[in-house]
Every structure is written in structure tokens, then in C-alpha cells.
Amino acid sequence: SLMMKPQVVFVLGGPGAGKGTQCSRIVENYNYTHLSAGDLLRAERAREGSQYGQLIDSFIKEGKIVPVEITINLLQKAMEETMKEDEQKFRFLIDGFPRNEDNLTGWNTVMDGEADVKFVLFFDCSNETCINRCLERGKNSGRTDDNRESLEKRIQTYLQSTRPIITQYQKLGKVHTVDAARSVDEVFADVKAILDKEG
């Protein structure tokens, strides 16, 4: 059968900006599949027999960005599996990727012609808000990076590596910025307005 080309929205923002929370809301209301790069990496870390478990573990604790080959492979597999199961599911929210130049180059190389990046949804809030949300979550998230030390590093990586990627997409006119410091409902109201307009 004729497979549709995957239609991708990149969802970016600082650690704890609410990317995952908003993606869940989107999935409830729109025909999108949510793929969190971080969740896929954590699942790969936990997978029996994974050759990347230790590497992923140490990169996540250090707030560093895992080599793109690993992440892209997981994203590609997840997209393929989703579309194989239901060919109507060709719209994807890719949450937390691309995070640096290596990620972007890797995506552009591997996915050139294979997927359309429609736009970037950017959840913008202060570093302080990001840190407070992650520390609060850290009380029971079990995430190895929801502590002050890892968070400092995650914020540094975000500012140094991820913001420039968002800026690049901004120059292409492809970024929709949402003020993520407000309540989940208020943020989602803005998200809805964007998706209703952009599809």
C-alpha cells in the first residue's frame, strides 16, 4: 500500500517546560502519536541485552546528549512500528529532539525526503521554573536526572546546545512559541489555537 510520509512536529523547550504533559493533551485531542526521545532512550537503557544501556545511563545523569545514531534509530523504529500497525497514524510529535547540531545534522541526513518537519512547538519558560518543576517531580519520579546537580547540567546543555537549534528554526519561520510558565490548561489553550491553524 501507499504509505503516507510521516508528518513531524518537533516539540522543544527546557527540562521540565511541560513538553510531555502538553504532548499527552495533544494526543487526547488530535490525531498525533507522541514519541518522546527521552522516554525511548530510557526504555532502551532498561532493555535487556541493550549494548547502549550504560552509555545512555551516564549521558542522562550528566545531562549530555546521546550520540544521534542511537536516538534516530529508536525514533525511526518507533515511527515505522506505529505506521505499520495503522497507516493512518503518520502524524508524530517528536518530543525533546533535536537537541543539538549533531542531532539536527543526523536527522537531516537520515530523514531527508523520508519525513516532513511541519513546524517546531517551543515551550518557553524561565530556567527557574524548569528547575522547580523537575525538583518537585523528582520527589517521586525515579528519574536519575531530577536532582539539583543533574539539573544544572541539563540547563547548561539546553542553553548551549538546544537553544541555537530553536533559533535556527526560528530563522526559517518554523517556530510557534508558547509561554509555558502558566497553568497546564492555559498553555494547552495556546497549543490548540496553533494546531487548529496548522493542522
| 63 binds ligand UP5, rule: CB under 6 A | yes
183 makes contact with ligand UP5 (CB under 6 A):
yes
Our finding on whether 133 is near ligand UP5 (CB under 6 A) is: yes
Distances (CA, A) of 164 to 56, 98, 111, 121: 23, 11, 21, 15
Distances (CA, A) of 33 to 93, 130, 139: 6, 25, 28
182 annotated as a binding-site residue: yes
CA distances from 146 to 26, 50, 98, 163 (A): 25, 24, 21, 21
Q: How far is the CB of 113 from ligand UP5 (least distance, A)?
A: 21
d(CA 147, CA 30): 33
Residue 20 assigned to a binding site = yes
Q: Which of residues 17-46 bind ligand UP5 (CB under 6 A)?
A: 17-21, 36-38, 41
Q: Does residue 192 touch ligand UP5 according to CB under 6 A?
A: no
Please, which residue, 33 or 36, has the CB nearer to ligand UP5?
36
- Given 59, 107, 119, 122, the residue binding ligand UP5 (CB under 6 A): 59
Our finding on whether 13 is near ligand UP5 (CB under 6 A) is yes
66 belongs to the binding site for ligand UP5 (CB under 6 A): yes
Q: Is 16 in the site for ligand UP5 (CB under 6 A)?
A: yes
CB-based contacts of 68-72 (< 8 A; 24+ apart in sequence) = 68/98, 68/102, 68/103, 68/105, 68/106, 68/107, 69/106, 70/41, 70/44, 71/37, 71/40, 71/41, 71/97, 71/103, 71/106, 72/106, 72/107, 72/110, 72/111
Residues that bind ligand UP5 (CB under 6 A): 13, 15-21, 36-38, 41, 59-60, 63-66, 71, 96-97, 99, 103, 133-134, 137, 145, 154, 183-184, 187
Annotated binding site: 16-21, 42, 64-66, 96-99, 103, 137, 143, 154, 182
